[in-house]
Chains A and B, each alone.
Chain A
Amino acid sequence: MKDLLEIARDAAALARQRGADEAAVGAYRARHVEVAWRDGRLEKVSEATTRGLGLDLYVDGRYVSVGTSDLRPEALDRFVSDSVVLARTLAPDPHRRLPDPELYQGQAAVDLELEDPHHGALDAAERRRQAEAIEVAARSVPGAQAILSVSTSVSDSLSESALVHTNGFEGRRRGTDFWIGAEVTVKDPDGRRPEEYASSGARHRADVESPEVIGRRAGERAVGRIGSRKGESAVTALAVDNRASGRLVGALFGPLSASSIQQKRSYLEGKVGAEVGSPLLDVRDEPHVRRGLGSRLYDGEGLAARPFAVFEGGVLRTLYVDTYYGRKLGIPPTTGRSSNLAWKLGERSQAALLADMGEGILVTGFLGGNSNGTTGDFSLGVRGFRVRSGALAEPVGEMNVSGNHLELWKRLVAVGNDPYRYSPMRTPTLVFEGVQLAGT
């Protein structure tokens, strides 16, 4: 098959021939393989290669963004021609132009190691062996007689992409990722069938936790849900597990996009330079983490990736600014989307933090709910455990936390030493005081 960079260059040339003044073209190809296993048997195997093109076209000061998986030459030609015609029907937009080429310069000269060179060595038999091993481990935990069902999965993918901008940018990247996971359902004596999961994934297979560890963790977590109850409504201390805390952090980062600010839909508008959290809120954007799930040398617009501070000692330092909304706001672009987050970590484990907290709730999972990006109000379903005298006690469920992000982050009183490695947000355990909990 043709090289992706050539495919992107050809499509950019086609766009120009059909009337676009400028174009940004991304071509991608990805191969994904997955094995699912359940209760002693293979459940599903799937294997697929997907490919396609995305084009941003700038035509007489007008803009369209289009994508297609139909790469048959005549179909592609017609699609690009139609897209140019579509653009011409729209109103001009002076802010829609390709990025300033200067911003393409200065890519870091580092090897991010995003591709596992041994990717090809993983075969169907090995995937299946791992999937089975996860289940065996899940069923070996104390209390396993309550287990009703174990579903496990093993998957990996190889992704490639190329990006071509007609004002001078060309880039290509390849990456692999490997994931294993398990979901375990147990029978609760009251008739419910609570479920829990565990998963682990990395760019390199050697960095993924073992099937035995994942199976055991999923099994223990599910057994730990037995007998969960709804507790009483209260204002209380709240610890949020590192796996779950990304949900809260996401609602803090979404409103930092220049589009949210420009559209007046951000409770963080006008807060650059202001204290929006306790001194413990300290987070950087680090695109060059070796093997990081969010690592990159250039972003989706071709901008050279650079590390920067987002929050320092509770003070908001910068926004996520893409080219378009940066021009609308009259501020220089940073990047439109976060890469890896790097938290200034605390020194203590979750257990030590809970010991210090004394009384309260440990949230291990969120259920539904929402955050209002305009006002900062949030209301989220939770489950987890009561913390009594500094130790984990009975499981709780069917409860809710609510508040406003502008108050919540000022109540951040502790940060764990345990970044969650299986998400680019890499969140640690976070502890807040004085949070509204709703239950009975």
Chain B
Amino acid sequence: MNAPNASGWRPSMGEASEAKFATSSGDYGLMLEEALSFELGSADKCGVDIDEAERAPAAGLGKFLRKSAPALPGLTEPETVRHYTRLSRQNYAIDLGPFPLGSCTMKHNPRLNEKMARLPGFADVHPMQPQTTVQGALEVIEQLADWLITLTGMASVAMSPKAGAHGELCGLLCIRAALDARGETRDVVLVPESAHGTNPATAAFAGFKVESIPATPAGRVDVAALKAKLGPNVAGVMITNPNTCGLFEPDMREIADAVHAAGGYVYCDGANFNAIVGKVRPGDLGVDAMHINLHKTFSTPHGGGGPGAGPVVLSEALAPFAPLPFVTRGADGSIHLVEEENMGEGHAQAFGRMVAFHGQMGMFTRALTYILSHGADGLRQVAEDAVLNANYVLRSCEDLLPAPFADSGPCMHEALFSDAGLAEGFSTLDIAKGLIDEGFHPMTVYFPLVVKGAMLVEPTETESKAGLDRFIASLRSLAERAKAGDESLHSAPHFAPRRRLDETLAARKPVLVWQGEPGVPGTPSLSEIGGS
């Protein structure tokens, strides 16, 4: 029996049936269409009861006073609740089923994390309150920092970066600052092909030139090629480990020793830390800096695109250069923030400030809650189960879908397949869109770039064996259909809020804001939005 469509939508009745049973509303039972808030609202509606201002509002504003209210329609509270609830049902989410996006890592988001983050002592405190009034919040930062330092075997951690890529930037700026302190101007960063695409972008933003290191046929860094590039102009290397082929880089220590001997630093992209947490400490492998995506390894919710959080653990060599603000504990036992105001206290080499306040405090609360719930034993089990699940998927599908690096040894937390061997004209995209009809979110597609037609499946530790077996059965069925040339795959998804969307049209003539008048419903015609 088919699993229910996990998007929350009932399967379509099919075009023929829909024509036969056409509805005047555009809705089909629980399959709901939803207009834009701008089409639903009007200027005379408001969903918040606001006290009337007690006096003339404009006393000192004179010429700054705005002539008319912003052209934003309002909705009443029930209309608002219904609008967003209806929209929410057009989303797939980890709460609805597996989200096997390799390299993105979507795992169960415990609601205890949410409850703790909403305690008024955390949610309703201001970043610039006197520090005597926020000792508990500072203790959250300190405790989380302590876990991150211990789990990674590093010397220190910079907590303020707002996301993974921001953490990469933080790490590279620490390297830049350390080189500056040594009076050296090294301007090259080596980035292997198997690294995340954000790595070269970050290196360029930190003012470095990027040189690429090829991957071996086994999907690892070509160590000989890397060593050949080392020299007095190399500031460091950025390695993603486990890498984007889903493999552990076994020569990490050898690479780190060579880079250090040549006077450079090792940046590790820690986006995949969930595969090794509690099993190995990156500090033991010679890493100097590594960001940790709290939303990946420690389950803070990603909410349809963020927020993320990217604390960066640092080696002894880089620790003095970490950005402000910093949390330290004084001799009297109180915790304080080191900011511009008091940076003389042993942090004079800090490279500066990356964000206005202290980073993603609300994410710290959630991550610490998750960490304490799992404990050191549970986090180790997380890595083991994530790796076990990925290898189970790999071995259960490799006879039907080529797994380019299956002979390179076990994969870590993600299984990589390619679309080689499908019937002429069938590709990864067809498998992905077919998975939607099967009730699953597709895997990561066409990434990493080193594999043609890549499919990167990351089940994480969240999935049960029974759930994985259902996913594997669907993936195998789709592979068989694509090998047999089943044309219906080309028009998938058939059972989703939308059929395939025209991304070329969206990019050719961008429509980024609604252009109509508030309160007027209507769907612009193709010509209005630049179609042919």
| A and B interact physically | no
Measured CB to CB, the residues of B under 8 A from A are none
A binding-site residues for B, Cβ under 8 Å: none
